[in-house]
């Protein structure tokens, strides 16, 4: 049912949302994690706004993961095996920082040049 809600979000009316919320509340026990998270999001933020936030966050996380993988591959190709702690730090960076690191890959002479972007 949750997949249906997310896939049909653009076509749902306010009445549809009320029916879905009621179904969630009757299907799952009161206080369960599913009821508290999904029903509350639908109720408080509205379906469209909640979905947009979730989608945006998912896209950002996906971009960050892909960019960190690319940054790690490029840096490994340039400098060899990276220190574990540096690789872990790079894996946790945001999209903007990762883009800066990748865009400047040809300007680095040492790993210390990369560390400047991280701190």
- Please tell me the total count of domains within the chain: 2
- Domain identity same for 34 and 63: no
Kindly state the average pLDDT of the residues 11-28. 70
Kindly state the average pLDDT of the residues 73-85. 95
Cα–Cα distance measured from residue 50 to residue 41, given in angstroms and rounded to the nearest whole number = 6
- 43's torsion region: left (phi>0), alpha (psi -120 to 50) or beta? alpha
Using the structure block, give the residue that is written with the tokens 């919320």.
21
Kindly state the average pLDDT of the residues 67-89. 95
- Residue 8 DSSP class: T
Domain, as residue range, for 19: 2-45
The answer to whether position 84 is within a domain reads: yes
- Domain identity same for 22 and 69: no
Q: Would the pTM count as exceeding 0.85?
A: no
- Domain identity same for 8 and 37: yes
- pLDDT band for position 4 (cuts 50, 70, 90): low
The answer to whether position 89 is within a domain reads: yes
> Could you read off the pLDDT of 64-76 as tens digits, one per residue?
899 999 999 999 9
- Domain identity same for 20 and 63: no
């Amino acid at each position: 049912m949750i997949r249906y809600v997310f896939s049909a979000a653009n076509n749902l009316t306010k009445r549809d949302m009320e029916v879905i919320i009621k179904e969630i509340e009757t299907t799952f026990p009161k206080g369960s994690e599913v009821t508290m998270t999904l029903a509350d999001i639908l109720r408080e933020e509205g379906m469209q706004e909640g979905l947009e936030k979730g989608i945006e966050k998912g896209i950002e996380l996906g971009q960050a993961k892909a960019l960190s993988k690319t940054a790690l591959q490029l840096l490994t190709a340039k400098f060899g095996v990276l220190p574990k702690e540096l690789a872990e730090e790079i894996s946790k960076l945001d999209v903007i920082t990762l883009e800066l690191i990748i865009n400047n890959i040809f300007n680095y002479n040492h790993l210390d040049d990369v560390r400047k972007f991280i701190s």
